[in-house]
Amino acid sequence: MEVHFLTAKPLRRSRYAYQGMERRGLGRGKVRVTELWLARASTLGLAIPRTAGQVIEMEILPQILVTGIALGVVYGLIGLTFTAIFNASKMLNFAQGDFIMIGAVLAVFTMEEWQIPLLPSLGIIAVATGALGLGLFFLVKPLLEKGELLRATVCTLAISLMVTVFFGLLTRHTILRVRPYWAIPPVHIGSASLSSQYIVLAAVAVALVIGYWGFSNRLSVGRALRATGFDREAGRIIGIPTALMIALAFVISGAMGGLSGSIVAPVNSPSAAMGLPLMIRGFVAIIVGGMGNAYAALVGGVIVGILATTLSAYSSAMVGEVATFLLLLTILIVRPQGIFGKIE
């Protein structure tokens, strides 16, 4: 079997390059791989083994699993960004995808347009998205003070739609590009191959999980933040500045979302529309793993990534999408607290 390493290309170009795959890749003993999965893998810079006749065989299962894990790390990292706000206020922030989108778009401006080095750019992005998180807090603060969590959640969804429209006008609805941060060749894992950008992304995700776990469990301010979400009135009685803790949670969530977007930018071409799909997958990941649990987001993301990628490869992209939401529905019915969650 000959292995071709597909380079990162815009989705539209990759899609048409493999448009005839489904028509030609059918037959007994052969596996149909949809053009959408190929386009996604190509966009992410992943290697896809294929024969000269473009018939995908069972031998690519290791590659599919590696791809699923790589995508799962992305979903888990995004799911992790929901955790801070939920732990402090028990509110779901459906504008979280916009922090990711803004971080990715800012990465284009800081590193591509203004030629600012990587580390200062990441600092600028974290500060900017953290400030936007604080702004979001002040917008929903009146609702949170009244305990109207549902209205506050719906408000974040409305804000998300407005932000998406604004950045669509700002970027003229174009797909932007960010060059890879590190010029490292692909990493080979057995017969599978993975873009080195995903190795870096996985390392960043693990670092964020460990950092957030240490913050929320080892530092007094982190424990105060969790106590605020557990019982706000009791927190006020013992002297915890609950409003400040919730504001801090919004800042942390915004900064983590911005950093996640900037790290994801080289493997997922930034655009104004990228936030909502990533937010949905991240939301599914955190629900599957367990809301409020740092490491559960990564585990849930990997489960979602492997499930969606495998079914998309061996059946169709639609089956992969449906299976993802069936998994979400099953978890909500059978174990609503998630795999690692606890009933409070």
For residues 254 and 134, is the Cβ–Cβ distance under 8 A?
Answer: yes
Structure tokens at 227: 């106590």
- Is residue 96 over pLDDT 70? yes
Residue 123: per-residue pLDDT:
94
Q: What is the mean pLDDT of the chain?
A: 80
For residues 223 and 217, is the Cβ–Cβ distance under 8 A?
Answer: yes
Average pLDDT over residues 140-156: 92
Residue pLDDT, tens place only, 258-296: 998 998 888 888 889 898 888 888 999 999 998 877 788
CA distance 109 to 176: 10
Strands 47-49 and 3-5: antiparallel
- As beta bridge partners, residue 194 has 187
Calculate the alpha carbon distances from 35 to 11, 25, 40, 310 in Å.
11, 11, 8, 14
